[in-house]
Structure 1
Amino acid sequence: MLYIPSSRSPSPRTRPVDQSPFLRLPTEIRLQIYALLILPRQPKDLCRSLTKVSSSAQDSYDYEKKLRGTDRPTMADVAHPTLCIRTIDGGCYEERYGKNMSRSTHARSTYTIRADRFRARCMSTTYHCVNIPRIEDHMGIIRTNKQIHAEVAELLYSSYTFDFDTHVEAIRPFLNDLTPCARSSIRSIRFVKKGLAYDKEFDRAEWTSALRYLTSDSSSIRLRRLELGIVAGRPGLTGWDRVATYTPQDFDLLKDADGMQWLQYLLEFKNLYELDVNAIVEHCAHATNSMAMANFIRFSASIESGFSKYLHQRLVGV
C-alpha cells in the first residue's frame, strides 16, 4: 500500500516484503516518516477531551505538571508528549463507548477500588486515557505488515510519557493489557506518591502492587526515565525554615523505618537514565505533639535535596 507497482512488477499480494522500496530505505528515514504520521504535531493534538470524565476514587486529585513559565500542562509539550491514564467511573466509560460494545472492540481490564466517601464500599472500575492524541487518521499504517507494525509500535510507545499521577492502581491493569512488544517499548512513566502522613492501608497496597509489577523481570518493562512526584506537607509559607533536612546517608537507615516501607519497592528500579523527583507542596497541620507529623514535615522539606540525591545515587545508571 506504500508503493505502486509497474505493469511488469508482481502484484502486492505476491511481491516479497523485502523487495518493498519503502523497507529498503534506511531505518532512520523510515522512523522520520512514521514520526510525521503518529506523533503529535501541535499542542492541541494532546489536549484533554472536551467531555468530562469523572474519577471513581474520591481522593484522586490530579497534580498535573505545568510547562515552566506557562499555565499549559506538560501534556501539551509536543517535544515530550504525555498521555494521562486515569481511573474512571465504569458507568461513565459505558456511557461514552456504549454498553453493547463487544469486549473485543475496547477490551481492557477492570479492577476494584475503594470508592465511596467513607471507603466502606468497593466498586469495579477501569482506566482511560483522558487526552487521546489526534492521530487516528494515520494509524492504518500499522496494518501494513508485521515489520512496519513492530517499528511503528516501538516508536509510538517509546515516544510518550505515560502519566498516572496518583492513580497508581491503574498502572498494572493498563500495562498488562498491552502486547509484550508495546509494553517493552515504554521508556518513560510518571506517577505521584500521596502524602505519607495520610496514607491508608489500601493506598499502600496499590503502591506495592504497581511497583512490584513495574520492577518485575516477567513484565518486560525497561524504563529509562521516571518522573516521581511526592505530595509534601508544609505548615505555612515558612514552615520549613527551621526544619533540619535529611541527608542522602540518612535514608539508608530510614528506608527500613515504620512508614517508609514504600521506599523499598522504589529502590528496585534499575538502569534509569533520567530521574525527576519533585515535591508537590500542600499545606499541612503543624507538628505540635505529633511525632508522625513532625517526621512527615521533615521528610517533605528533604524531598528535592537529600531524598532526590539519595535516589539518584541508587537508581540512575546502576
Structure 2
Amino acid sequence: MAYTAASAVRSSDHINTITNLSSGLMRPLYTSCSEHQHAQHANRESRLLCLNESPRMPSPSPPASPTRRAVGESPFLRLPTEIRLQIYSLLVLPRSANDLLPSFEKVHSSTQDYYDYDKKQHGTERSMIANLVHPTLLIRTIDPDRYRKRYPELRPEPARSKYSVRCDRFRSACRRTTYHCINNPRIEDQLAILGVNRQTHAEAAEVLYGSYTFDFDTHVEAIIPFLSDLTPFARSCIKSIRFVKRALAYEKEFDRCEWSSALRYLTSSSSNIGLRRLQLGVVAGRPGEQGWDSIATYSATDFRLLGQLEKMEWMQHLLEIQGLQQLDVSAVVEHCPPGSNSMAMAEYIRFSASVEGGFREYLTEQLVAA
C-alpha cells in the first residue's frame, strides 16, 4: 500500500459509527455553473467507476467475542492481518501498467485535453506510462453529447450524481452530465471480495480506496459529485488526490465558484476525508521563446502577502487542508501572450514563473506536517 493504514477510521455519519477492522498539463475541458445538480439521497445506490457494481456491505460490526470466533470464524480471517492485506492488494490493485492505460475517447463539444488524448507525457514525446507505485484513476466529466447518447430519456437515469457544465466553445451554454473514469483498472472480476462479509469488506475497501490516487485534472466540477456518491467509510479511506488550478488569467466567476466549492468539500469535517498526499497542478503561462528567463519571481514571503489580494482568495482555500504528509506542486505550462500586453498578464507571467519555486515552498511550509 502507498500509505500506512490508520488504526481507526472516523465517520461523520450520524447513523452509524464505522470501525476499521484492518491493521488498524492541460487545457480546461469543462467547467460547470455554481448550481451542482447532484442529489443527496442517503439510501441511493452509490457508484465508483464500475467498482461499486459489487454488493454494498453495511457498516462493520464490532469484533466477535473469543467464544464466537473459535466456533465459526473463517480460516481466511485467522490468517495474519499482513497476509490478508497482501491478498487484497493482489485483487484490487493493477498488476501491470497496461491495466491503467486510458481509453482516450475524443470529445467534440469543448476544447479537448491534449495531455490525456494525445497519450503523451506533458511537454515530451514519450508515451504516458501508468505508475504502479502510486496507481492513478483518471476521473473526468463526460462529454455532454456522449452523455445524452449513453443515457437517453427512454433509458433509466445513471445512479451517479448529475451536474451542469459549461460545454460549448465560448463556455456560455450549460448541459447536464456526469463523471466517469477513463482508465478503469481490470479488477472487476475480483471485486466480489467486497461482498463476502463485513470484515473483509472493510479491509479490502481500505486497500482499494487508500492505494489509488484520484486524479480530477482541471475537472474540479466532478470532485463533489464523485466523492459524495461514496459511503462515508470509503471517503475516509481516500488518501491521495490530484487536481489542477485553471489559468488565473482566463478565469471566470464560475471557475472561482467551482474551485471554492470543491476545496470546501475536501476540507469539511463532515466529508470525513483525511488526505495524506496532494498533487497540485497550476496552469502557468510562459510567453515566447525566452519564456521566464528575465522574469523576477515571487518568494515564499511574497506569497504570504499575495494571498490577501483580490482574486487570490483561491490560495486561502488550499490552506484549509490539514494533515498532509506529501505535497507535489507542478506547473502545467502553456503558451501565453507577452507581459507587455497588459499589467494583468505581466503579473500572471510572474506568478507562473514562481509556481515551482516560491509558491511550492510557501505551500509546503503551510500544509505539510513537520
The question of a shared fold, defined as TM-score above 0.5 by the shorter chain, is answered with yes
- Taking only aligned residues, the RMSD between alpha carbons, in angstroms, comes to 2.4
Contact 1:275 1:312 in 2 (8 A): yes
Partner Cα separation in structure 2 for residue 33 and residue 43 of structure 1 = 19
User: 1:35 and 2:72 equivalent?
Assistant: no
Partner Cα separation in structure 2 for residue 253 and residue 119 of structure 1 = 32
Count of residues in Structure 1 that have an aligned counterpart in Structure 2: 300
User: 1:128 and 2:183 equivalent?
Assistant: no
Instruction: Name 2:268's counterpart in structure 1.
Output: 216
Give the drift of 1:141: 1.0
User: 1:268 and 2:268 equivalent?
Assistant: no
Contact 1:236 1:283 in 2 (8 A): yes
Which structure 2 residues correspond to residues 63-74 of structure 1 after superposition, within 5 A? 63=115, 66=121, 71-74=126-129
Give the drift of 1:298: 0.5
Instruction: Name 1:85's counterpart in structure 2.
Output: 139
Over 3 Å counting, the alpha-carbon distance change for 1:266 and 1:49 in structure 2 is: same
Amino acid at match of 1:46: L
User: 1:146 and 2:146 equivalent?
Assistant: no
User: 1:168 and 2:223 equivalent?
Assistant: no
Partner Cα separation in structure 2 for residue 60 and residue 262 of structure 1 = 25
Contact 1:53 1:88 in 2 (8 A): no
User: 1:21 and 2:75 equivalent?
Assistant: yes
Structure 1 counterpart of 2:363, from 311, 314, 318: 311
Amino acid at match of 1:92: R
User: 1:252 and 2:304 equivalent?
Assistant: yes
Identity within the alignment, %: 60
CA offsets, 1:178-226, max 9 Å, x none?
1111111100000111111111111111111111101111100000000
Contact 1:62 1:166 in 2 (8 A): no
Partner Cα separation in structure 2 for residue 230 and residue 67 of structure 1 = 13
Amino acid at match of 2:208: L
Give the drift of 1:237: 3.0
Partner Cα separation in structure 1 for residue 247 and residue 150 of structure 2 = 33
Over 3 Å counting, the alpha-carbon distance change for 1:195 and 1:90 in structure 2 is: closer
CA offsets, 1:254-281, max 9 Å, x none?
0011221111111111110000000111
Q: Is the partner of 1:249 in helix, strand or coil? A: helix
Q: Is the partner of 1:118 in helix, strand or coil? A: coil
User: 1:239 and 2:291 equivalent?
Assistant: yes
Over 3 Å counting, the alpha-carbon distance change for 1:113 and 1:68 in structure 2 is: closer
Structure 2 counterpart of 1:182, from 231, 234, 237: 234
Partner Cα separation in structure 2 for residue 102 and residue 91 of structure 1 = 17
Partner Cα separation in structure 2 for residue 17 and residue 253 of structure 1 = 65
Q: Relative contact order: is structure 1 or structure 2 higher (C-alpha 8 Å, sep ≥ 6)?
A: 2
Instruction: Name 1:49's counterpart in structure 2.
Output: 103
Partner Cα separation in structure 2 for residue 238 and residue 107 of structure 1 = 50
Over 3 Å counting, the alpha-carbon distance change for 1:102 and 1:167 in structure 2 is: same
Give the drift of 1:38: 1.2
Partner Cα separation in structure 2 for residue 291 and residue 216 of structure 1 = 36
- TM-score scaled by length of structure 2: 0.75
CA offsets, 1:101-152, max 9 Å, x none?
645xx51100011222232321111000011111111111111001101111
CA offsets, 1:235-268, max 9 Å, x none?
1232211111101001111001122111111111
Partner Cα separation in structure 1 for residue 108 and residue 236 of structure 2 = 28
Partner Cα separation in structure 2 for residue 214 and residue 310 of structure 1 = 20
Partner Cα separation in structure 1 for residue 197 and residue 155 of structure 2 = 27
Partner Cα separation in structure 2 for residue 97 and residue 78 of structure 1 = 33
- TM-score scaled by length of structure 1: 0.87
Amino acid at match of 2:136: T
Partner Cα separation in structure 2 for residue 27 and residue 237 of structure 1 = 56
Structure 1 counterpart of 2:245, from 193, 209, 230: 193
Amino acid at match of 1:49: S
User: 1:159 and 2:214 equivalent?
Assistant: no
Q: Is there any run of 5+ residues in structure 1 with no aligned partner, and where?
A: 1-13
Partner Cα separation in structure 2 for residue 274 and residue 151 of structure 1 = 24
Over 3 Å counting, the alpha-carbon distance change for 1:17 and 1:314 in structure 2 is: farther
Q: Is the partner of 1:23 in helix, strand or coil? A: helix
Over 3 Å counting, the alpha-carbon distance change for 1:67 and 1:196 in structure 2 is: closer
Contact 1:60 1:167 in 2 (8 A): no
Q: Is the partner of 1:288 in helix, strand or coil? A: helix
Partner Cα separation in structure 1 for residue 124 and residue 143 of structure 2 = 33
Partner Cα separation in structure 1 for residue 174 and residue 306 of structure 2 = 33
User: 1:301 and 2:353 equivalent?
Assistant: yes
Contact 2:179 2:222 in 1 (8 A): yes
Give the drift of 1:172: 0.4
